[in-house]
Amino acid sequence: MVGKLLLLLGLCALLAPAPAVGSSEMLDILGGIVDALYEYFYEGTEMPTEGGPEDYDWLYEFLESEDVCDPNPCLNNGECEVKGDSFKCTCPEPYTGKRCQKVRNYCKKKNCGRGEYVIISVAPYYECKCKVPFQPPTCRKAVACKENPCLNGGTCIKGRTRSRFTCACPANYTGKFCQVGPDDCFREDGSYDGFVSETEEGIECLPWNSHQLLEKLDEDVSMSQDEAALREHNYCRNPDKDVRPWCFVKLKGKLNWNHCNVTQCPGSDDITVPLPPTDDPSDPASPTDAVSTEFTTCGRPQPSDVVARIYGGRKSIPGAHPWQVSLQVRVNSSDNEFEHMCGAALIQPCWALTAAHCIIPHQSWRVLLGSVNLHRDEWTRQAVDVEETIVHENYTETTEALHNDIALLKLKPVDGRCARETRFVKTVCLPEETFADGTECTISGWGATPDRSFSQQLLDAQVLLIPQWRCAFNSSYGDKLDESMLCAGRLRGGVDSCQGDSGGPLVCEKDGKHFVYGVVSWGDRCGVKNKPGIYARVTEFTDWIKAKIEAA
């Protein structure tokens, strides 16, 4: 009670006339008062679990929710209104969603015939984009060659039916409409502004403003007006700095994406890592490859100025998380296919770090490196067998928590090599020091946990490191935590380790270098208020990790 009185006195002092301060400065002042009171009452003593700092839980919730509209969380010029401890966005047309990040589906229950409904920026905010030679506005009537769809001097030749035609293209021009010229190619950095509109498999691309794309945005993924207004076409593009152009397609009624049938420009360096897709980890390395036990550096991914996922997490950039590992399992001596089980992080060419609870006896293990989509053969991917699993000697599992939940994977070398360093496969650094509470870090993975299925596409999310004493409040985890653990997420809920994998990495960055600071361990459900994810604290295990590697 005395603490609350002192706190109220401090708050009253803030009301006295003084030079104006910003909202963020005010929150810093309030936070400092709470921290000072905390140190005053409990400095040098063990954190009590009853009647102690929980008294200030109400204030931290106040601090978290007081400034919810500054900065404005509403996208696309939405207006923010405070609603209790949350906010409400009033969205301009055609946007909707909690943060005005979605485009309203004006095309629902509308039939576009042989066409595709697309979203446009002016009323009525949609139109029917017909496939040639079907005619607007309903895309039901076909008149081949009435208007010549062939470009660059191509000649339209009618087929046997009203909807069939072919384009006879002049020399050096190709494509369904003769739209692909002799200089149509993608540049060394993967950028492309040409006219190819089909994938390597020959599937026609969806328009970038198709309602099927824009209605799929997740609550936590933003879309700017520029992204929503990718020009109204279906030409292949590379908006996320992938290695080559790509586009969205519809396969078996589901939204997907594929790289496009575009060649690289002459004179450009070949794309890094010309490795064929393989599921065979025993594929020998080239005899000319040098034996290597260390990569050139750790913790430095391929530079990118674009976020690692767009359009609701439906695509991830290859190489954004080059240390990300898919730990895969099958029953010993069986012919079953390997299945994704957990995440892990590559820390040395022949070593990966994961959670102890992922390791099941009497199984065969392998790792996939450099992968983004687990259901597709990717030329960036490397498969390596696991030679040995090493679980921490003090790992214990109770009904309430997992203690010392960490393990090492020793990879099996072939011709003296395990993982090969590429643009898409790199090691992450072990932490050299602690990161401050409140640091924003990244979790990544395919969302696999023991009790639910996973995404085929690599996902990521940003979380905050939360003070250990805050996670020890009774409203959170009480006395379940020990020094082998840390917690990270958002106290309001919504984003936590459910966006990563069990055993996957929590990575924090400093000066452009990335460190594996935590390993996804356990938690109380997904995205629940006051229940952030719990991670194995890697700084507590660096000596153990180094000792095991040196002894192997």
Give the active site residues.
357, 405, 502
Cα–Cα distance, 239 to 293 (Å, whole number): 36
Beta strand extents in 41-160 (DSSP E only): 79-83, 86-90, 95-96, 102-103, 115-119, 126-130, 155-158
Cα–Cα distance, 497 to 212 (Å, whole number): 28
Distances (CA, A) of 330 to 327, 368, 447: 11, 14, 19
Residue with tokens 């485009």: 103
Distances (CA, A) of 493 to 64, 189, 326, 440: 12, 38, 26, 15
Provide the angle, in degrees to the nearest 10, between the axes of the packed helices 23-42 and 57-66.
Answer: 170
Cα–Cα distance, 171 to 160 (Å, whole number): 25
Name the strand (E) or helix (H) holding 255: strand 254-259
**How many other C-beta atoms can be found within 10 angstroms of the C-beta atom of residue 244?**
19
Cα–Cα distance, 140 to 551 (Å, whole number): 72
Q: Which long-range contacts (CB under 8 A, 24 or more apart) does 97-102 make?
A: 97/217, 97/219, 98/219, 99/73, 99/74, 99/75, 99/219, 99/222, 100/74, 100/75, 100/76, 101/75, 101/76, 101/217, 101/219, 101/221, 101/222, 101/223, 102/214, 102/215, 102/217, 102/223
Helix ranges restricted to H, 445-492? 468-471
Structure tokens given for 466: 């939360």
Cα–Cα distance, 327 to 344 (Å, whole number): 6
**How many other C-beta atoms can be found within 10 angstroms of the C-beta atom of residue 385?**
17
Is the CB of residue 177 less than 8 Å from the CB of residue 167? yes
DSSP string covering 199-254: BTT-PBPPPTTBHHHHTT--TT----HHHHTS-SS---B-TT--SS-EEEEEETTE
Is the CB of residue 347 less than 8 Å from the CB of residue 497? no
Is the CB of residue 67 less than 8 Å from the CB of residue 492? no
Instruction: Identify residue 274 by its one-letter amino acid code.
Output: P
126 pairs with which residues across the strands?
A: 119
Is the CB of residue 373 less than 8 Å from the CB of residue 458? yes
Among 382, 392, 366, 353, which Cα is nearest to 516's?
A: 353
Cα–Cα distance, 218 to 102 (Å, whole number): 8
Among 154, 452, 501, which Cα is nearest to 343's?
A: 501
